[in-house]
Chain A
Amino acid sequence: MNVGIVIVSHSADIARGTVDMVRQMVGDNVPLAWCGGNPEGGLGTNVEAILKAIDLAWSEVGVAILVDLGGAETNSEMAIELLPDDRRNKVVVCNAPIVEGAILAATEASGGASLDDVRRTAEELSPS
């Protein structure tokens, strides 16, 4: 069982496109879900959509979330707070660029790595 990946962007196009890139480059053996944009077709993120995406990408070994800016991060953190007790400690937000981090995280996850290793790999690109 592999760690799942959730993409949270303000833009539905960026989130969907990032997931497409991961599927094409890494393959289908990592649970993947995305959310982004508001119901009117504009930009935005919201906690409910993030919770739904976490559910879709759920894996017992954990879920790593990649976010773009500001609200994507705070709403993801809020979504994690709202998870049931047995799931809350299995979801992390990665401090990594959304597209590059998603590819790196998924590559690591596809080999059966732990959630900690997946996050560490995604964050290898971040300036230290």
Chain B
Amino acid sequence: MRNETAQINGEVRMTHETGLHARPSVKLTKLAKTFSSTIHLAVAQEGPWVDAKSIAKVMATKAPQNTTLYFRAAGSDAVEAVRAMIALVEHDFADGNGTASAD
């Protein structure tokens, strides 16, 4: 039985060489928007937390390579959301949703 209001947390070390620059930020934001849960992101465990669905705020974190990214989500698909965000970062933002990533 999952408590639907529970907050789900996760963290992942970002090895992508450019860090959370423009293209990774777009992919992360687009993925976050596919979930109904609220999803927040921070570059430190104590925050500050930013809305992972806000492209301007995600880009403004300017998180460099080897930053640990912290995610927290709340809502009916929070578990899937955090799992998907971590998978995206682990896979170096390689398979975002719907982007022309032929590079």
On A, residues with C-beta under 8 Å from B are 23-29, 103-104, 107-108, 110-112, 121, 124-125
B38-67 to A contact mask, C-beta < 8 Å, 1/0 = 000000000000000111110000000000
CB <8 Å contact, B56 and A29:
no
Binding site secondary structure of chain A = helix
CB <8 Å contact, A27 and B56:
no
Give which listed residue, A24, A25, A112, A121, contacts B56 with CB less than 8 A. Answer: A121
Q: Which 9 A-B pairs have the closest CB atoms?
A: A111-B33, A124-B56, A27-B98, A107-B55, A27-B99, A25-B26, A104-B55, A107-B26, A25-B23
Q: Measured between alpha carbons, how far is A93 from B74 in the docked complex, in Å?
A: 35
Count B interface residues, CB 8 Å.
Answer: 16
Q: How far is the CB of B91 from chain A (nearest CB, A)?
A: 17
Q: Measured between alpha carbons, how far is A123 from B53 in the docked complex, in Å?
A: 16
Q: Which residues of A contact B99 (CB under 8 A)?
A: 24-27
